[in-house]
């Protein structure tokens, strides 16, 4: 292997570590934000909010590293596909972190209001979403396209839960109109969870592209011939 190839391999391995560390931190932000909401832990919620700047900076760094490798090494075939996938996954992880902040902000708001009964099993929905995120990252680590496909298939169930939340909140507001704003905040949290599931699905789709060369987003497929 040439010195250039060895240098490229080293930089790509470092890039993999960066994206996996970012993924682990984003996954923790999701966990803490949901816990702060369901258990009314405002300090924990503020911790999620405060950590967002660091995640944003790391997302920028990963993007810069990807662009540097593209410019200096002009990778092709599998290496090129990996870098393109990491660029896209990096963006989805940053958006998931932002959505975690949104949930944490709802937790801070609700911690200062009278406690209301959750009109819906939000924890169950959050567990499903966190499983999707964890599995999408596991599929990246293991280059497991079958696990990635399971993540894609799970998205419909989360969509159904989000729609069910609308109905439950509507009924709760009718019976307890004085706490309308609190229920609206819970509804927003459900919507943010649904969007985290969407981004997790995006990551899984990018893993499928990385492993197989198939672009399954929008129901389309391609192969490696472009590379």
SS (H, E, C) 4-37: HHHHHHHHHHHHHHHHHHHHHHHHHHHHHHHHHH
Please provide the DSSP assignment of 93-114 as one string. HHHHHHHHHHHHHHHHHHHTS-
Mean pLDDT of the residues in the chain: 90
Question: pLDDT tens-digit profile of 75-117?
Answer: 788 889 999 999 999 999 999 999 999 999 999 999 989 888 8
Asked if CATH classification 3.40.50.970 holds for the domain at 3-226, the reply, yes or no, is no
pTM here? 0.90
Which residues have C-beta within 8 Å of that of residue 203, sequence separation ≥ 6?
Answer: 89, 92, 93, 133, 136, 137, 140, 151
* pLDDT value, residue 1: 64
Q: Confidence class of residue 61 from pLDDT cuts 50, 70 and 90?
A: very high
d(CA 166, CA 163): 5
Record the tokens describing residue 37, joined without a space. 């909401």
Q: Kindly tell me if the per-residue pLDDT of 223 is higher than 50.
A: no
Distance CA 171, CA 174 (A): 5
Q: How large a percentage of the chain has pLDDT more than 70?
A: 94
Of residues 73 and 153, the one with the higher pLDDT is 153
Q: Taking the mean position of all CA atoms in its chain, how far away is CA 180? A: 29
**Residue 4, Cβ density class (10 Å: 0-12 exposed, 13-18 middle, ≥19 buried):** exposed
- Asked whether the predicted pLDDT for residue 74 surpasses 50, the reply is yes
């Amino acid at each position: 292997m040439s010195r250039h190839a060895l240098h490229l391999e080293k930089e790509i391995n470092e890039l993999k570590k960066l994206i996996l560390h970012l993924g682990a931190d984003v996954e923790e932000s999701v966990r803490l934000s949901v816990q702060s909401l369901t258990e009314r832990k405002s300090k924990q919620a503020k911790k999620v909010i405060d950590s967002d700047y660091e995640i944003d900076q790391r997302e920028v760094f990963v993007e810069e590293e990807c662009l540097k490798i593209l410019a200096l090494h002009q990778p092709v075939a599998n290496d090129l596909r990996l870098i393109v996938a990491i660029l896209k996954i990096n963006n989805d992880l940053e958006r998931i972190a932002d959505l975690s902040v949104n949930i944490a902000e709802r937790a801070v708001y609700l911690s200062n209001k009278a406690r209301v009964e959750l009109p819906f099993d939000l924890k169950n929905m959050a567990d499903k979403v966190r499983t999707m995120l964890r599995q999408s990252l596991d599929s990246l680590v293991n280059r497991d396209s079958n696990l990635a496909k399971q993540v894609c298939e799970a998205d419909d169930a989360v969509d159904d839960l989000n729609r069910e939340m609308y109905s439950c909140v509507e009924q709760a507001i009718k019976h307890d109109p004085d706490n309308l704003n609190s229920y609206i905040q819970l509804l927003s949290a459900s919507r943010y969870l649904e969007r985290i599931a969407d981004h997790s699905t995006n990551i899984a789709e990018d893993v499928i592209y990385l492993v197989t060369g198939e672009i399954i987003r929008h129901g389309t497929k391609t192969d490696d011939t472009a590379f």
